Amino acid sequence: MTITLLDALRRSLPAHGIDGYLVPRGDEHLGEDVPACAERLKVLSGFTGSAGLAIVLPDTSLLFTDGRYMLQAPAEAGPAWQCLHNGENPPSDWLNTRGGAPLRLGYDPMVIGRAALDALEGSWGTLVPVRPNLVDAVWTHRPAPPATPIQVQDAALAGRTVTEKLALVAETLRTANEDAAVLSDPAAVCWLLNLRARDLPHTPALLAHALVRADATAILFVAEERMDARVRAHLGDAVRVVQPDTMPAEIDALAGLRVRIDPARTPVWFEQALLAAGAELSQAPDPCLMPRACKTEAELEAFRQAHRQDGVALTRFLCWVERNGIGQTEMAVSNTLLGFRMATNACSGASFASIAATGANAALMHYHPAAEGSAPLAENALFLIDSGGQYAGATTDVTRTVWLGDATPPEAWRDQFTRVLQGLIALTEAVFPEGTSGHRLDMLAREPLWRAGLDFDHGAGHGLGSFFGVHEWPSAFSSKGPNGPVHRSMVLTNEPGYYKPGSHGIRLENAMAVEARAVGGEQPICGFETLTLAPIDRRMIDTALLDESERRWVDRYHARVLNEIGPHLDTAEASWLERACAPLGQN
């Protein structure tokens, strides 16, 4: 009988004195996207989603994930796994109500953070750190860690030099009376040092840890052979590059110093190692978080340029899919869109695996078509395409849902689409005090759906990186709790949706930059500048549901798309776009 990885993991538990084992989705950087060598949850359960936690016990296998994946997870994991909504039935609740003797639950402290561990605390038993990782120990043919060449992100695109960024972060540490900070998030490391690599499939990430000090110096833990002379010169004397296996010794050298740890973004191993070394912990947000999220003028201009280029590609694609999409498979259509992006000669690749979904597949919020066996686009059906590209200074993420065929779309679907559009408009048009939590704005994208007794089980938007992650802090807009403050110069997405299991899915998504709207009053007031430029399917809009201001918004937006994108299209495409952007009420 073949021994599965799950069976092998269970058999290893007694040797470590534990009754069960935690397997989070994250890697040694707690990332949403992980390299192949860190796909532990996927190889153990078959679940391919970007968020999840497994609890493996001798007779039970539990998989907790969020609302995006409640249809996908059971289908992928199969009958060996019980799949639970982590909001409605958190892991701690399940553990506390299971009954029986107390458990000793093992975990790898290098792939889970303090915040996640604290959320598991309860009367059910004890958490036990175990190294090395038990999944790795039984995972045969595990891929090697990525080691792609390191590249420089030019200061002209970043808007700040490494020296300027080190000084900025050092001032933050000195103000907090801290001597150093651990940087575990590759987005922070790459932002601080103006570096990129290709360690992840769609994100130009360098998977590395770093220490930054209050004297404006830093230590980068990465193999020196990954960098050439230009990278080494770029880092300068303020950045010391050391091998990753020296990290324990460098942590020990921080004895007696006050070191910042972001409990939400740092593996708990660092906390445990620092305490063992005799350092004083300061729990506070990653010092790169806010300056990275608030883009420089150079980064904002790169976003505008990237979205114009991306808009040309997406508009050409939407024209193509209306004329040629029916009968093509979801995967073929997704590849065609990437081809349009690459034809701009500005895009270096997709920013994530496209969600190209027709029919019932579109009700799976994070559905990705398979290379073999993906569904063909059908006539008189909806097609949802959520995709993005990586450009020299910016990352794009955009969703459009379109009707394919000549028949009139079902009235109920047009109603749902229009309410999603109204949510997009309402959030786009918001004005708010600077620093408002995204939680307070999220409801704007939902209220038109709520009026019809509808909703969607994902956030209404997220942060975008500057030629980096398609999902970056702040989480922007979510009904699930505090999302971080919204400040000027952040770039966020706006993506309401509606999903009918077994039938169809609808989502619209634009990227937006936060800008000042009212100056000189009692407090700064902000609003949004829309960056995404691509038509919204007018055939799906029930104009009777729109008020006058909403109709004007659609017409103004389409006029802008036509003006900025139209000149870059060929004659046939430009003619199609003119019809697609005609004022509402015109044929």
Q: What is the pLDDT of residue 474?
A: 84
Which residues, at least 6 apart from 307, have a Cβ–Cβ distance to it below 8 Å?
A: 394, 396, 511, 531, 532, 533
Q: What is the pLDDT of residue 2?
A: 53
| pLDDT single digits (tens) 387-400 | 999 999 999 999 99
The 3-state DSSP class for residue 260 equals strand
| Residues with pLDDT less than 70, the chain | 1-3, 482, 519, 587
Q: What is the pLDDT of residue 1?
A: 37
Nearest to residue 47, comparing CAs of 364, 328, 400?
Answer: 364
User: For the purposes of burial, counting CB atoms within 10 Å of the CB of 249, is it exposed (0-12), middle (13-18) or buried (19 or more)?
Assistant: exposed
Q: What phi, psi does 241 have (nearest 5°)?
A: -105, 125
Nearest to residue 471, comparing CAs of 19, 7, 68?
Answer: 68
Distance CA 359, CA 381 (A): 6
Give the domain ranges of the chain: 5-138, 151-287, 294-580
Strand locations in 2-117 (E): 20-24, 53-56, 61-65, 82-85, 103-107
Q: Which amino acid makes up residue 131?
A: R
Q: What is the pLDDT of residue 261?
A: 96
Question: What is the pTM assigned to this prediction?
Answer: 0.93
- Residue 386 near residue 509 (C-beta atoms within 8 A): yes
DSSP labels, 156-193? HHHSS-HHHHHHHHHHHHHHTT-SEEEE--HHHHHHHH
Is it true that 151-287 and 294-580 share their CATH fold?
no
Angle between helices 330-342 and 297-324 in degrees, nearest 10: 130
- Residue 170 has which token pair? 């050092």
Instruction: For domain 5-138, give its CATH number from 3.40.190.10, 3.30.470.20, 3.40.350.10, 2.30.30.700.
Output: 3.40.350.10
Provide the CATH topology of domain 294-580: Creatine Amidinohydrolase (3.90.230)
Q: What is the pLDDT of residue 99?
A: 85
Q: What phi, psi does 246 have (nearest 5°)?
A: -90, 0
Distance CA 530, CA 528 (A): 6
Fill in the DSSP letter of residue 28.
T
Q: What phi, psi does 144 have (nearest 5°)?
A: -75, 150
Considering only CA atoms, give the Rg of the chain: 24
What residues form DSSP beta bridges with 516? 526
DSSP labels, 109-131? TTS-BHHHHHHH-STTEEEEE-S
Q: In this structure, how many other beta carbons lie within 10 angstroms of the beta carbon of residue 45?
A: 25
User: How many residues would you count in the chain?
Assistant: 587
- Residue 227 near residue 241 (C-beta atoms within 8 A): yes
- Residue 37 near residue 143 (C-beta atoms within 8 A): yes
For the domain made up of 151-287, the CATH class stated in words is alpha beta
| pLDDT single digits (tens) 194-212 | 999 999 999 999 999 999 9
